[in-house]
Chains A and B, each alone.
Chain A
Amino acid sequence: MTALLSNTLAGLRHRPGRTILAALGTALGIATIVALLAVAGGAKHSAGDLVHLGASDLGLFQKDAADPTTSILPTSLVGSLRRTPGIADATPLVLLVDDIPKAAGAVAFGAEPGGFLTKRLVFTSGHLYRARDEIVVGDGLARRLHVAPGATLRIRGRPLRVVGIYHIGVAYQDSGVFMPLATAQGISDRHGEATVIPIKLAVGTRPATVKREIGRRIPGILVISDPEEATRAGANGQLVSKAALVIAVLALVIGGIGVMNTMLMSVVERRAEFALLSAVGWSAPQVAGRVLIEGVATALIGAAIGLLLGVIGAQLLINVLGAEQFVSPQLTAWDFGRALLVGVLIGVLGGLYPAWRAAQVSPAKVLAQH
C-alpha cells in the first residue's frame, strides 16, 4: 500500500500543472462550503450573544420568526414574567438593524433606562440617556463615525443627541447604539411591542423549569437558553444551515465531475501506462486503486486550498454583506473535518469511473498499437 501510494504521488508530482488545476476545481467547492459554514457559525455566535444580552439567562422570542431580530412580542408580557417564580427580572428590548447611516449592519437597541440591560454599560464619557431624544453610542461605532457626546445621529431620519460613549466588551454591541425603549418603538412604529424579552433567573433556578413554566403559560413564544436553539429557531439560521448542506451536495456533484473529467483525460492519455502495469502483473483492482488514490490525493490537495480560500472568502462575504458588525466568521474543527470529508468523497466519487476505465484497458490492444 505504501509503495502504491508513493508511486501514485510521484505521478502527481510529475504533472504539477494538471494536479493543481484538478485540485482547484475541488478547492472552489470546498471554499464555498467552508465560507458558508463560517458565516453560519458566526451567525450562531451572534445569536448566542443576543440570547445572553446583558448577562440574561433566557431570551423570549416570537415563535416561527424568520430570525431572532424579526420577532415581535407585546411588552405587556413583562409584568407577568416578573411575577413568575424563579424569574429575577425581565425587560423588553427592541432591535433595529441597519437603521444607522454609514454603519451597515450596526444594531440599535431600544431598552428601558432602569432595566438590567443598560446597567452593564460602562461609560467612557458622558452618561446614560435621560430623555427620549438622547442616545448612547458604543465606542467601536463612535470611532467609526467619529462621534462624541454632543453630536447628533440620525436613526431612520430622526435626529438623536449623543449623550454618552459606552464599552461593554461584546463586539456587535460596542458597534451599535442604545436608546430609550419608547424612542425605538416610535421609530419602528411598534408601540407596546418588543423584539425580545431577556430574562434573568433567580439564583439557584434551573432554566429548564422556567422554560417549561413560561411555555405552558404563554403560547406562541419561544424561550431560548443557548445559541444552538437560537439558530434552529430562526428561519434564516436554518436557511444558512440548509444552504451549506445544498452547497456541500453541489460541491460533491460539481467537484466530483471536475475530478472525474480530469482523471478521465489522464486515464486516456496514460493508457499505455495502465496496459504496462497490467502486463507486469497488476490486477484490475490494483490498477483501479492507483487511479482512485490519485483522485483522492488530488481532491485532498484541493480541499486544503479550499479551506484556506474558504476562511478568506467567509470574511469577504461578510464584508460584502455589510454584516461585519454583527457576524464574524466562526469555524470549528468539525467544520474543517466536514470540508475534508467532502474533499475525500469528491475524490472517491470522481475517481470511480476513471478507475474502472483504467482497469479495463486491454494491454494486448494498447501495447500492440504502440
Chain B
Amino acid sequence: MRGARVVIDHVSRAYGRSVVLSDVSFVVEPGELMALTGPSGSGKTTLLQLIGSLDRPTEGRILVDDVSVGELTRPAHFRRETVGFVFQLHYLLPALTVEQNVELPLVAARVPRRERGHRSLELLDEVGLGRRAGSLPADLSGGERQRVAIARALAGRPRLVLADEPTGSLDSVASRKVWDLLGDVRARHGTTVIIASHDAMLAERVDRALRLMDGRLLPPAAAQRTREEVA
C-alpha cells in the first residue's frame, strides 16, 4: 500500500487573536518518516490536528493525496479511511478489551466481525501483544498500552499515521520500542508517518525533521543546527 502525500500550503491557524501557526508550508512525500520538532506551544500538535482533519486552518490549505482536508464535508469518513492517530496518552477505553480497542476504527467502518477480529489479532501480533488480546488496558504497562494504541491507529490500514508525542509519557526502554514500531510501520506498509516529538532519540530514526518555533517553520539551516544540537 502506498503512503499518502501531504502538502501544507501557507497554512495558518489562529484562535481569536492568538496565532498558533503562521504561514507554514512543506511537503511530505509518500512513505516518508518525518519529524516535527519544537518546544511546547510551537504549534506541532495544532499542525497534526489540521493534517488529520480534527481542526480547520484559518488560512491556507492542506492536501492529503489531493484531498483538501479543510474543506471536507465528512471529516470522520476521511479519518476512518486515511489517517491513524497516536496520541501522547493512549486513550484506550477502559471497559473494552485490548482487542476491542484495536477494533474501534473498524466498528466505525462497519467491517464484518470476523475480519475485525482477524485484523486486530494480526496487528496485536505485529506490536508484540498478541497474547494480551483479551486483557483490559488496566492490566497493561504504559508502554504496552501505547503499542495497543499504535495497533489501533493501524487497524483501518491508513495511508498516513500522525503521532503526537507518542513517547511523551514513557520511559526510555518503552520509548525505543515505540520508535522501532513506528519505523516498522513505514517499512512494512509504506505508510507516511509524521511524528511530533521532543524526544532526542527521534532524530536518528527519521528521514527528515522540521522544526517549529512560535508557530513558524524554521529555515532548513536553522532546523539542521537545532537537530544536531538535539542529537
Contacts and interface: CB of A to CB of B under 8 A. Distances in A.
Contact of B49 (A6, A13, A286, A364): A364
A329 B109 CA distance: 50
Contact of A14 (B87, B95, B103): B95
Interface in A336-370: 362-364, 367-368, 370
Contacts of B94: 14
B96 A281 contact: no
29 contacts: A7-B104, A10-B96, A11-B93, A11-B96, A13-B95, A14-B94, A14-B95, A273-B93, A277-B104, A278-B54, A278-B79, A279-B52, A279-B54, A279-B79, A280-B104, A280-B156, A281-B76, A281-B80, A281-B105, A281-B109, A282-B80, A283-B76, A283-B77, A362-B54, A363-B49, A364-B54, A367-B54, A367-B87, A368-B45
A288 interface: no
B91 A272 contact: yes
Contacts of A273: 91, 93
A275 B49 CA distance: 12
Q: Please report whether the interface of chain A is mostly helix, strand, loop or mixed according to DSSP.
A: helix
A363 B45 CA distance: 12
A210 interface: no
A321 interface: no
B17 interface: no
Interface in B75-132: 76-77, 79-81, 85, 87, 89, 91, 93-96, 100, 103-105, 107-109, 113, 116
Interface residues of A, number: 29
A235 interface: no
B107 A7 contact: yes
Contacts of A363: 49, 54
A46 B204 CA distance: 88
Given A7-B104, A282-B80, A283-B108, 5 more contacts: A15-B95, A272-B91, A278-B54, A280-B152, A370-B87
B74 interface: yes
B107 A364 contact: no
A279 B55 contact: no
Interface of B: 45-46, 49, 52, 54-55, 74, 76-77, 79-81, 85, 87, 89, 91, 93-96, 100, 103-105, 107-109, 113, 116, 152-153, 156
B107 A4 contact: yes
A282 to B, nearest CB: 4
B96 A7 contact: yes
A284 interface: yes
A282 B107 CA distance: 8
B85 A280 contact: yes
B140 to A, nearest CB: 16
A364 to B, nearest CB: 4
Contacts of A6: 100
Nearest to B49: A364
A15 B108 CA distance: 23
Interface string A189-233: 000000000000000000000000000000000000000000000
A3 interface: yes
Q: Which 3 A-B pairs have the closest CB atoms?
A: A281-B80, A14-B95, A364-B55
A368 B79 CA distance: 17
A272 B92 CA distance: 10
Contacts of A286: 76, 108
- Which of A273, A280, A368 lies at the interface centre, i.e. has the most chain B CB atoms within 10 A of its CB? A280
B54 A370 contact: no
Contacts of B46: 368
Contacts of B100: 6-7, 10
Given A7-B107, A363-B54, A283 B74 contact: yes
Contacts of B85: 279-280
- Which of B77, B87, B153 lies at the interface centre, i.e. has the most chain A CB atoms within 10 A of its CB? B87
A276 interface: yes
Contacts of A276: 91, 93, 104
A271 to B, nearest CB: 11
Contacts of A10: 95-96, 100
A2 interface: yes
Contact of A3 (B54, B74, B95, B107): B107
Interface in A258-276: 272-273, 275-276
A85 to B, nearest CB: 73
A24 to B, nearest CB: 21
A102 B200 CA distance: 90
Contact of B79 (A11, A280, A367, A370): A280
A20 to B, nearest CB: 16
Contacts of A2: 113
B91 A281 contact: no
Contacts of B87: 279, 367, 370
A284 B76 contact: yes
